[in-house]
Amino acid sequence: MISFFLRNKTRTARRSRRSRRWMEYRAVGRVAMLFDYADYAQAMDIKAELEADGKQVRAWSWAEVEMNDTAWSPSIRMLNDSHLNFFFLPRKYIMDDYLGYPADLLLDLSQRSNPLTEYLTACSPAGFRAGFKVAYPKIYDFVLDIRPTAYDLSENAGDLLFYLRNLKLKN
């Protein structure tokens, strides 16, 4: 069930002004990554690839089932119903953790519509945002358009990283 409050907060966050900062991939130091729990194995491969490139990565995902927080590494946050308040918004300590991570790049690898992921993307303090979704393209700085039937995360994320790595800015 999607809460009216979550939709309203997401809409408000999408409308708020933010300072956008186009960045080249080599200048990125910290990455906040959002992904679908169904794509966990592929997302961890992408996280490892980013870390091999010298990036610090912290990943967040939404899971429908209850999970023990201690089962994950400190760089992976698995959110579930226990992390939401009555209004289906993330609890204060979750938002403090998310907003307190000083990411240069938000990499939204969610391929399916998820209201919580959309809210986290819209309120992210990252200066540069990249992702797949096209429902609300204004919350991103770089959007890779994927076919709705092409949910192969490894291929889509590989394409996105290829473009980000080859993005050159004029000085």
* Rounded Cα distance, 3 and 139, in Å: 21
The per-residue pLDDT for range 48-73, each reduced to its tens digit, is 999 999 999 999 998 877 766 655 67
For 50, the enclosing helix (H) or strand (E) is helix 40-52
In a domain, 153, yes or no: yes
| CATH number of the domain residue 114 falls in | 3.40.50.2000
- For residue 72, the model assigns a pLDDT of 65
Q: Which domain holds residue 56?
A: 4-17+25-166
Phi, psi torsion values for 27, nearest 5 degrees: -85, -10
Is pLDDT larger for residue 168 or for residue 29?
Answer: 29
Per the prediction, the chain carries an average pLDDT of 85
In a domain, 64, yes or no: yes
Q: Which of 100-104, 138-142, 163-167 has the highest mean pLDDT?
A: 100-104
* Rounded Cα distance, 57 and 106, in Å: 10
Report helix angle 40-52 to 153-166, nearest 10. Answer: 20
Q: Which residues of 148-168 are buried (b: 16+ CB within 10 A; e: fewer)?
A: eeeeebeebbeebbeebeeee
In a domain, 96, yes or no: yes
In a domain, 89, yes or no: yes
Split into its structural domains, the chain has a count of 1
Q: What is the pTM of this model?
A: 0.87
* Rounded Cα distance, 48 and 73, in Å: 13
Phi, psi torsion values for 57, nearest 5 degrees: -125, 135
Angle made by CA atoms 162, 98, 166, in degrees to the nearest 5 = 15
Mapped onto helix, strand or coil, the DSSP state of residue 102 is: coil
11-14 LR contacts (CB < 8 Å, sep 24+): 13/119, 13/122, 13/123, 14/122, 14/136, 14/138, 14/139
| pLDDT above 60 for 1 | no
CB proximity list for 148: less than 8 A, separation 6 or greater: none
In a domain, 171, yes or no: no
